[in-house]
Amino acid sequence: MTVEKYRRSGVLTFNDLKRNGLIPSYSRLQKRPVVLIECIENIPCNPCAYACPRGAIKIEGALINKPRVDFEVCNGCGICITKCPGLAIFVIDFNYTKTHVSIAMPYEFIPRPQPDAKVLCLDRNGNKVCYGRVVKLLDSQRFNRCAVVTVAVPKRFWKDVRHIRLI
């Protein structure tokens, strides 16, 4: 998708994120869990940068500048996920198992998906990608009504799955 098409559709592609330096290298993905920030708009927003206790996310200069991530500093803790008003932050554990990655994502709907539930996994357009299994649910009043759901999906879908639907 060209930049012009993205502007019309409002849906990011993997290549948009790569061009903006928001995809970790394959060798970094292999090491340990890591954050994926899907935010390339010049918007006046910065809770992600304040949320990270390790200083891995930086918004330098003007507030409207895009977030930058130091993937070597990030340890994949996921603290930043619920702090993003745009629901644009995910954490991937590429080596969750030999065959599956786990993807932690923000989830605001009720009811919450419970651990071990089979769910439908969707891409950024809301289209079906595959089925997945919920492996963790973090829900707390401190998260301001946004839970963190971690779902395991086959490795080949790590670039695509960004939301789930209960079935």
Q: Which spans of this chain sit near ligand SF4 (rule: CB under 6 A)?
A: 35, 37, 39, 45-48, 51-52, 54, 56-57, 67, 74-80, 84-86, 88-89, 91
CB 115 within 8 A of CB 153: no
Q: For ligand SF4, which is the closer residue by CB, 73 or 166?
A: 73
Residue 144 structure tokens:
């301001």
Q: Decide if 20 contacts 66 (C-beta within 8 A).
A: yes
Least Å distance, CB 64 to ligand SF4, is 9
Give min distance, CB of 105 to ligand SF4, in A: 12
Please name which of 109, 108, 107 lies closest in space to residue 151, comparing C-alpha atoms: 107
Nearer to ligand SF4, 85 or 118 (CB): 85
Q: How far is the CB of 57 from ligand SF4 (least distance, A)?
A: 5
* For ligand SF4, the closer CB: 117 or 137: 137
Q: In the complex with ligand SF4, which residue's Cβ is closer, 28 or 120?
A: 28
d(CA 131, CA 36): 21
In whole angstroms, what separates CA 9 from the centre of its chain? 20
Rounded Cα gap, residues 82 and 11, in angstroms: 21
